[in-house]
Amino acid sequence: MTIEMNYLFIYCLLLGFACNPTKDAVTIDKIVAYKYFYNAGTTSLLKNIFDSPSDYLSETALIQLTREDIESFECIISEAKVKKHVQKKIIVDLALVVTIQGLDHYWVISQPDNVIVDLTTNRNYWLNTNKLKDKTRKLLQKYTWQDNKINDS
């Protein structure tokens, strides 16, 4: 009985370190990051930039995220607090095209606002814990090119 309890305890500890997906967990096919994108903009402007990047002089070079980073992003959005997005000006640290079940979604990560915004479904994924902020910071460090961002002014 004591051995079984020890195994159960160890199993619970290991689960605590892994991502805890919710019942609405999203499975992502692939993610590509824009190498160059506007620094900030309103929701409608950012949607337009995603739809026609060359019209806004955005570089269309895309970098595919690794499977490990995609799983990390899935974990982030499954644990984040989700709310409806209302239009406002967003600081863009990283712009992503996320393919979910064959459909492309436009996402932006805003580290100063502690939010990831799905511009396609108009949802905010709030980074309300240090764990989520750290995971997001790691993604940004890997895929952000600060000196190459296009300024919207």
Number of domains forming the structure of the chain: 1
5 within a domain of the structure (yes/no)? no
- Strands, DSSP E only, in the chain? 28-34, 40-42, 62-64, 81-84, 89-91, 94-100, 103-110, 115-118, 123-126
12 located within any domain = no
CA distance linking residue 19 with residue 16, whole number of Å: 8
Q: What's the start-to-end Cα distance of the chain, in Å?
A: 67
Tell whether 16 is covered by a domain. Answer: no
pLDDT digit string, tens, across residues 85-116: 988 899 999 999 999 888 999 999 999 899 99
d(CA 63, CA 80): 24
For 123-142, the pLDDT digits (tens) are 999 999 999 999 999 999 98
For residue 46, CA distances in Å to 64, 93, 125 come to 20, 13, 17
Interacting residues of 137 by C-beta distance below 8 A, sequence separation 6+: 111
Is residue 101 included in any domain, yes or no? yes
> What is the tens place of the pLDDT at every residue in 9-57?
555 444 444 555 444 556 889 998 888 888 888 888 998 888 887 777 6
CB-CB contact of 41 with 152 (8 Å) = yes
CA 41 to each of CA 52, 54, 75, 78, 80: distance values in angstroms, whole numbers, following the listed order: 15, 16, 27, 26, 23
In a domain, 73, yes or no: yes
Which residues span the domain enclosing 142? 22-148
Question: What CATH number has the domain bearing residue 116?
Answer: 3.30.1490
Q: Per the domain annotation, does 117 fall within a domain?
A: yes
* Residue 17 located in a structural domain: no
Is residue 35 helix, strand or coil?
coil
User: Rounded to two decimals, what is the model's pTM?
Assistant: 0.76
37 in a structural domain = yes
